[in-house]
Structure 1
């Protein structure tokens, strides 16, 4: 199989592969919107963790061999089909609907299929790399553990089911963490950082979709227009905060790292610490969807009705989680503490009880104003440094 070079970039097939994840993220948002409670949000986060783990496996694999060449192309398409079926089963991830197949079991089986194809292709791609093959063998038990726990969870209900889902996620993430980084390969820093940037972009796109889907059945009105523009401004602020300089700095740090340190940075900063960014964006999407429904008069709501409870926590807490995740990624890559991001995250969480009594539109306005203020502050304070980062030649 053709190897990835340091200068490689993402292939069209990888972007096509990512489209299934757009659908999966939309399904998770819709599932949480149906049950906007603390348990509903927790289950949504667990689902996202499983979906994320499916995706990251292929981000490492396609950093080793070209995804659109030879057996890799067929395997990627097969994994894509399994992932699509997993996404179709998301509405029944925890509660089987009457008739048809066992929804939770279908999801667990599709997850197993995605993982088996991944490991099988990784094994073939390793060829004569003894270190990588040994690491793949150490990786298999956590895969078996995670998928087996999901299969058992599919036959349970309520708290026991949620706890087993948490155990499955812990088995996958914890098991992979415990086997260490020796043996894994990260061939191209550029390709790797680009893949994670693209999946963040896709998640932000999903938050924009949530704004639109939230009002498709409502008559367009000035409140909907205003709320939609505010929602889009929030998504744009998150895009700016990630793509303006952050992704460039992290890619350079990954590029400068060598051997095991590069693998370690890739694993911690991207594989693990990008998950809070993803969960944060999807929680935000849920909050935006609810706000649009409120201001559009859905279910008898009026403009003076406040957004409160789980949807408000999702909207403010989602952005806070994004800020904390971002600060953690920055610290791991360049040992720079983004104090203003951490402060904003803390402020957002502290504000939830305060804005819970405000009309939904006002709580959306406050969130937008705080994010715009952050972007303006950083733009003014770091103007020269920002210009240097964005336009410097890096060799």
Structure 2
């Protein structure tokens, strides 16, 4: 009976994969948070040396804490029904904690360290306890119990960093955050409960893909906000107008690359994945890099628009940040395509078993390419290999006739000279081409396929 009451919180198979208005409302707090992170990165533009390294490390640590809060919430709403009142209360409470973290983030490493830590621990420790109590006797309650235990283990490090001296805050918080991320990677192992790997969780994969797409869009929106705010507050000039246009085009290209490469395939990949939780774990790590890269790119926008006269240094930073974002997006696309989304192709390659090479083409499985494959690339490669392995005298009678006319002595042609190499009869290149064309016949490749590979490959 208790397990039945707890099962009401789980997502039913018929639930919609789209994000709810509650989750979109929740994301508004992280719009503010990402803006604060970008502003902290922007303050490092004049730092050099060790000051730049420590400043970047502090901001990165705060961003990773925010990312962990948002990612856990996305997984919760992918596993539990967002329309249930208890889940709605959990999401709204997490939103309030995220907003506290956002407003304290500019000075979170200084005098506002305690409220930042309190908000973070409220999410990481109190929230799983509430969910475990709501699940009652359901077997899935063991997962939030694991989360609460591991978060309680790292809580002393967070509190010691917040209450201790400023010089120890960064190493203590870095150790605490490392514990939280290590627990996520290991599956929160406990001696009496075992391990709960994220890759084995039952989730609504379409919903999780939708959430990460929305987070990427939020990061892009933050970059557009930076472009508009910085350009509107600066004196107008031709250089700043050009920088403004370049920054906008860069954001548009990032949007295009993501949503028409990796992001477009996420839903289909989750639909075909046997273990959507495993794909979701990869998605979480990949999008962490993507979102961080977009935020750093937004800092490049501000540098370019604010200081157009320092165009070389600013463009270098902008190009580096943009390259990282594009590269991470391509990695996400390649990982999804290579691991999870494998459409069948008539040009898949050579047979996987040796016995298939001896069987006729009619028995060859779909997707296995043979010597008579419809792929022009494979067909031409096969015919080239056949011509290379066939003696020259058997390709065409024209070659034999030409050899006879040349009066080549066969015994002389096979006589070894200079290091064991053999002399061969000299035949003109044009004669070879004419003989090859005559023996092979007219080409059968469709003109629409010239200059391209097989349309089904890749």
Q: What's the TM-score, normalizing by structure 2?
A: 0.64
Q: Counterpart of 1:108?
A: 117
What's the CA shift for 1:50?
0.5
Equivalent residue for 2:158, pick from 125, 150, 174: 150
Q: Counterpart of 1:171?
A: 179
Equivalent residue for 1:231, pick from 217, 242, 247: 247
Equivalent residue for 2:265, pick from 245, 249, 261: 249
Inter-CA distance 165–221: structure 2 relative to 1 (3 Å threshold)? same
1: distance between equivalents of 2:164 and 2:453?
Answer: 53
Given the alignment of the two structures, is residue 333 of structure 1 paired with residue 336 of structure 2, yes or no?
yes
Deviation per CA, 1:246-286: give whole Å up to 9, x if none: 1232322222223xx3212211x222221111111111111
Aligned length: 325
What's the CA shift for 1:112?
0.9
2: distance between equivalents of 1:279 and 1:334?
Answer: 23
Please list, as runs of the form range in 1=range in 2, the aligned pairs for 1:43-54 lying within 5 A after superposition: 43-54=58-69
What's the CA shift for 1:240?
1.1
- 8 A Cα contact 1:210 1:288, kept in partner: yes
Instruction: Report SS of the residue matched to 1:8.
Output: coil
Given the alignment of the two structures, is residue 319 of structure 1 paired with residue 325 of structure 2, yes or no?
no
1: distance between equivalents of 2:452 and 2:56?
Answer: 36
Q: Counterpart of 2:291?
A: 278
2: distance between equivalents of 1:213 and 1:383?
Answer: 48
Q: Counterpart of 1:71?
A: 86
Instruction: Using the TM superposition, name which of 164-173 and 115-124 deviates more.
Output: 115-124
Instruction: Report SS of the residue matched to 1:307.
Output: helix
Inter-CA distance 156–318: structure 2 relative to 1 (3 Å threshold)? farther
- 8 A Cα contact 1:203 1:281, kept in partner: yes
Given the alignment of the two structures, is residue 120 of structure 1 paired with residue 129 of structure 2, yes or no?
yes
Q: Counterpart of 1:367?
A: none
Structure possessing the higher relative contact order (Cα contacts under 8 Å, 6 or more residues apart): 1
Tell me, which stretches of 5 or more residues in structure 1 are unaligned?
Answer: 97-102, 296-302, 338-379, 390-395
Deviation per CA, 1:47-105: give whole Å up to 9, x if none: 11110000011101111223243122222112211111111100111122xxxxxx011
Inter-CA distance 209–147: structure 2 relative to 1 (3 Å threshold)? farther
Q: Counterpart of 1:195?
A: 211
Inter-CA distance 305–318: structure 2 relative to 1 (3 Å threshold)? closer
Instruction: Using the TM superposition, name which of 46-55 and 69-78 deviates more.
Output: 69-78
Compare the two structures and name the one with the higher helix fraction.
1
What's the CA shift for 1:39?
2.4
Tell me, which stretches of 5 or more residues in structure 2 are unaligned?
Answer: 1-7, 46-51, 188-195, 341-450
Inter-CA distance 182–281: structure 2 relative to 1 (3 Å threshold)? closer
Please list, as runs of the form range in 1=range in 2, the aligned pairs for 1:362-377 lying within 5 A after superposition: none
Given the alignment of the two structures, is residue 291 of structure 1 paired with residue 290 of structure 2, yes or no?
no
- 8 A Cα contact 2:38 2:299, kept in partner: yes
- 8 A Cα contact 1:135 1:182, kept in partner: no
- 8 A Cα contact 2:18 2:206, kept in partner: yes
Deviation per CA, 1:214-263: give whole Å up to 9, x if none: 234322332222211111111111111111131232322222223xx321
Inter-CA distance 240–23: structure 2 relative to 1 (3 Å threshold)? same
Inter-CA distance 169–229: structure 2 relative to 1 (3 Å threshold)? same
Instruction: Report SS of the residue matched to 2:307.
Output: helix
What's the CA shift for 1:32?
2.1
Equivalent residue for 1:10, pick from 19, 23, 33: 19
Deviation per CA, 1:126-170: give whole Å up to 9, x if none: 45441x322332333332244432222223556633222322221
Q: Counterpart of 1:307?
A: 313
Larger radius of gyration: 2
Inter-CA distance 140–187: structure 2 relative to 1 (3 Å threshold)? same
2: distance between equivalents of 1:382 and 1:262?
Answer: 32
Q: What's the TM-score, normalizing by structure 1?
A: 0.74
Instruction: Report SS of the residue matched to 2:202.
Output: coil
